[in-house]
Amino acid sequence: MTIQINDLYEEYGRYIYHLCLKLTRNKEEAEDVMQDVWVKVVRYTDKLEDVDNIKGWLTTICMNTFRDRYRKTVRTNEHMVHQPTTLDVSILDLVPSRALTPGELVERNDIQSLIQEKIGQLDAIYKHTIQYFYVDQYSLTEIAEVMKVSIGTVKSRLFRARNYLKEMLVADHATLDYVTA
């Protein structure tokens, strides 16, 4: 088996290295990825007999290894902060919160109120269509059955309702801070 691995390395080593270099755009990282690729190749040597396209198999291992390393890096860096020794704040206080700030909550509530007000001003057909689709989360088929119309009619009513709603929001000076045409 060692001879086959050596043969593989001789034949495809440069190709895999250049692929790693192309993916990472960094010589040191490319070497690390390449090393991981060849470790996996050695680990799965017993599968070599079943492989029809060696180059494709090696490419897949290389791409998956790169993706795995990238995902791991993103996951660890998402909340990783290098805390100086002189910092008086807990590291947990530096982790960004996904919760909305009070200002964002107020803005979201304002937007919801404005949109609900404008939906209330729509004709009944459009108001009900919007209600069924966005609030009740009915499918187009379910809306068509409830309203006793075709799916095409439901789609056009949704399209028109959204356009009317947008026009009403853009025309209202109170919504200019929230809506872009």
- Say how far apart CA 106 and CA 114 lie, in whole Å: 12
- Say how far apart CA 25 and CA 27 lie, in whole Å: 7
Instruction: Report if residue 41 sits inside a domain.
Output: yes
**Residue 131 corresponds to which tokens in the numbers above?**
């209600």
For residue 134, the one-letter residue type is: Y
Instruction: Report if residue 97 sits inside a domain.
Output: no
Tens of each residue's pLDDT in the chain, 181 residues: 445 788 888 999 999 999 998 988 889 999 999 999 999 999 888 888 888 888 989 999 999 998 888 877 766 665 555 555 555 555 555 556 667 677 778 888 888 888 888 889 999 999 999 999 988 889 999 999 999 999 999 999 999 999 998 888 888 876 666 655 4
- Say how far apart CA 11 and CA 6 lie, in whole Å: 9
Q: pTM of the full predicted structure?
A: 0.43
**Residue 130 corresponds to which tokens in the numbers above?**
């919007």
Q: Are residues 15 and 69 in the same domain?
A: yes
Number of independent structural domains in the chain: 2
Domain that holds residue 123: 102-175
For residue 65, the one-letter residue type is: T
Q: Write the CATH number for 106.
A: 1.10.10.10
Which positions ≥6 away from 39 have C-beta within 8 Å? Answer: none
Instruction: Report if residue 17 sits inside a domain.
Output: yes
Q: How far is CA 134 from the centre of its chain?
A: 22
**Residue 108 corresponds to which tokens in the numbers above?**
């979201």
Total Cβ atoms within 10 A of residue 137: 8
Instruction: Report if residue 143 sits inside a domain.
Output: yes
